[in-house]
Each structure stands twice: as C-alpha cells, then as structure tokens.
Amino acid sequence: MWDMDSDFQLSAKDIDEAAKRLAPIAKNTPLEYSPRLSEEVGVPIYLKREDIQLCRSFKVRGAYNKIASLTDSEAERGVVAASAGNHAQGVAYACAALKIRGKIFLPSNTPRQKRDRIATIGDGWVEQIIVDGTFDAANAQAMEVSKRENLVFVPAYDDPMVIAGQGTIAVDLAEQIPADTDCVLLPMGGGGLAAGIALWLKTMRPSIKVIGVEPEGAASIKAALRAGKPVSLDQVDNFVDGTAVGRVGDVTFPILREYLDDVIVIPEGAVCSEMLDLYHSEGIIAEPAGALASAAARRYLPRIPNGPVIALVSGGNNDLSRYAEVQERSLRHEGLRHYFLVTFPQEPGALLGFLRDVLAEDQDIIHFEYTKKNNRDTGPALVGIDLARASDIHQLRRKMASSPLHVEQVPLDSEIFRLLI
C-alpha cells in the first residue's frame, strides 16, 4: 500500500489495474450525443453519463478501488471516511460489497434522505456518526478516530488509490470518444477525478486536451496554480456542493499542474441554467457539480474547438427541493429576474400607478414584500420583476428613473438574497 512517506508515483498502469478491479462492479456508462449543446457550440458535444453510475456518481469508483485494494489485515481493522454525500455512498457500497466494517462521519446538516440512502446502501456494514458542524469538522473527527482506533482512512480525493479509481473513466472514454476529439471537460473540487483522468489521457492520448472546470465560489485549483502550491480559500460558496472544496489536495495538485491543459472558472448561475436545460432538453437530473462541465462547454471555452468536445456529467444526486433555488439563481444570472427597493407613498392607488407607468405588458411581478407603517408617509417594498428578454432591463430602468417613486436596484451580491433563497 502507498503511504505519505514513500516514493510512489501514480501512473497510467495503476489506473489500468484499477479498471480491471472495477470491471465486475462499476458500469461502463454511456457517452451520449447532445443535439442541444452541439447546435449551440457548433461542434459535436458528447455527455459522459456518470450520473447513472452506481450510487448515481463517479465517487464509487475511487472508494471501491481504495477499499478493495486493502490488505487482509487492513480490511479486518475496518475503514473510516467523512462525507456529506456521494463519497459516503461510494464508501457504503464498497463496505457492503466487500463485507468490511466502516464508519462514516456526516455533518449535522446532511439531509435525512441522504442518511437513509447511505444506510440502505451500506446494508448494515457502516455506522453513521453525525457531527455538529460542517464537513471540515466531520473530516477532522474522522481522521482523529482513524488514528485512535487504527482504522484505514478513505479520503474523498487526496489518495492515489482513490485517484486511480476515479481515473478509470478515462479507460472507458478511450473506447467511446471519436478519433478527432478536441478536448475533455471535467468538474473539479479536490481534484481526484480530474487528476486521474488527465494523467491517463495525457499518457495514452496526448493529443486530447484536458480542461478542468471550477465554480467561481470555490476555485481552489485555479488559486493553487497561480500560487504554485495548494492554498486555502478565504471563503467557499457551498452551492455547488460536490466541488465546494477550499483547498486542492496535496496528492492531486502536482498531477493537475503537470497534466491539465487549462482551467475554466464559471459562475454558479451558469451552472443553474445548465442544470435546468439538462433536465428540460436531455431529461438528465444533474446535481450542481454534474452540470459544471457542460455549462463550461456552452459559453466559457477559451477557444473554438477543432473537433468534438466531451463533458462529464459527474453525478445525479440532486435534491429536488433545491430546484426553486436553482431557478432563482439561473434567472438572475441570465438577467431575466431583477429586484428593486421601491419607496411607495402610503396612499391608495400607489401600486396601481407603478404597474401602469413602469411595467410593460410582458413584465411580471414575482415578489412583492411590503408592510404598512401607520406613522410614516412612505414605505419601502421589495419588488421582484421577471423580464421577457435580458435587454428589457434598460427600458425598465429608464421608466423607473422617470417615475416619481424612489427606486433602487438590489445588487446581485446583496445579503437581501439570503431572504429569498
């Protein structure tokens, strides 16, 4: 087994061996042509469907490869991991399949349905420990228990055997992608998936460009590449939870630095728009991280591709209750939804005048929050307006400026939006 003090160097051969180990277990997920994206981008776009992998995520590949490679004595000791989602399910699956005892530390905000699914997948072989706090708190406790109870720690990404398992997607792709493929787009958080795939592809198919994609609110790999070493972000936006990592892995970083051709950073709103389009057009229920790569293909490629583009849909464990927030973020990102603070005179007909004088027929009020104050002549209201076209905002602003009402547009980074989503 590899340890932090050895001179082990991960190679394409290790990923090939992982592919053989996973052959009876992991699905060889399909590569599907996307007419929608192909028409929009102008070159063939294909989606690698890891959202229909076992446990609905690529994470089972790395977790199973790590746990299946343990020695008999290590397996007898058992394993421990920390996760709020897909990695936990992958570990639970591997423990149940291999009959190895495991402990999984979960942050207290992990939804009940995820806890129930982990328990079902684990089939009695894993124990869940709920930690009061964030993933970082859960991870710290898992590592402490690993040392105290002599359990094998199974990282979500920063481990050669985990990286090798996740890299087996590249072995699948080698048999699926067109010969003239230009590039492969990969979502990135801690970097395990991208490191494994990039290492194998750049070794075996070096003409194919490998591009990583990060969300703006958690661009830890871009920051590390700029600094020349892993660095911790001051803050992390947790919306794209599958890639919400504040520091790239120590094992993954040198691999990414050597083998990635480029890194694209995209706004969370673009991810939301792509989640909705994947659902409406392709019938794919993608989690936010699962929509990162295809969102980048739409608008954020650094150049026009010379051939087909592959975008990895990394997971489909999305909570349907989040779609209201997804739609809200998408509409704001596309410039179709705007919010204003409007100061109304506290007199009859004020709202009717606003509707008559300011709004056009195809503009709709979707939020109106106002409380009458008896001791004041005026009162502010929070007004949300949907537009038919993003360009209509210019005419709306002109009408508001000429209105007798005092109007302030709420900026996109305002804390007010915490009340709305």
Rounded CA-CA distance 413/219 in Å is: 18
Task: Give the pair of three-digit tokens for residue 408.
Answer: 């302030």
Rounded CA-CA distance 130/119 in Å is: 13
CB 121 within 8 Å of CB 89: yes
Rounded CA-CA distance 163/191 in Å is: 9
Task: Give the pair of three-digit tokens for residue 105.
Answer: 């530390």
Count of all residues that appear for the chain in the document: 421
Rounded CA-CA distance 20/15 in Å is: 9
Instruction: Tell me which residue of 320, 308, 243 sits closest to 279, measured CA to CA.
Output: 320
Q: Return phi, psi of residue 355, to 5°.
A: -65, -40
Burial of 239: CB neighbours in 10 Å, binned 0-12, 13-18, 19+: buried
Could you confirm whether 273 is annotated as catalytic?
A: no
DSSP annotation string for 212-272: EEEEGGG-HHHHHHHHTS----S----SSGGG--SS--TTHHHHHHHH-SEEEEE-HHHHH
Rounded CA-CA distance 135/82 in Å is: 7
Task: Give the pair of three-digit tokens for residue 249.
Answer: 């892995």
Instruction: Tell me which residue of 24, 17, 3 sits closest to 160, measured CA to CA.
Output: 3
- The one catalytic residue in 57, 69, 273, 314 is 314
Assign 309 to helix, strand or coil.
strand
- The one catalytic residue in 34, 48, 59, 330 is 59
Rounded CA-CA distance 38/79 in Å is: 44
The number of C-alpha atoms within 13 Å of 316 and in the hemisphere containing its C-beta is 15
Could you confirm whether 59 is annotated as catalytic?
A: yes
Q: Residues with catalytic annotation?
A: 59, 314
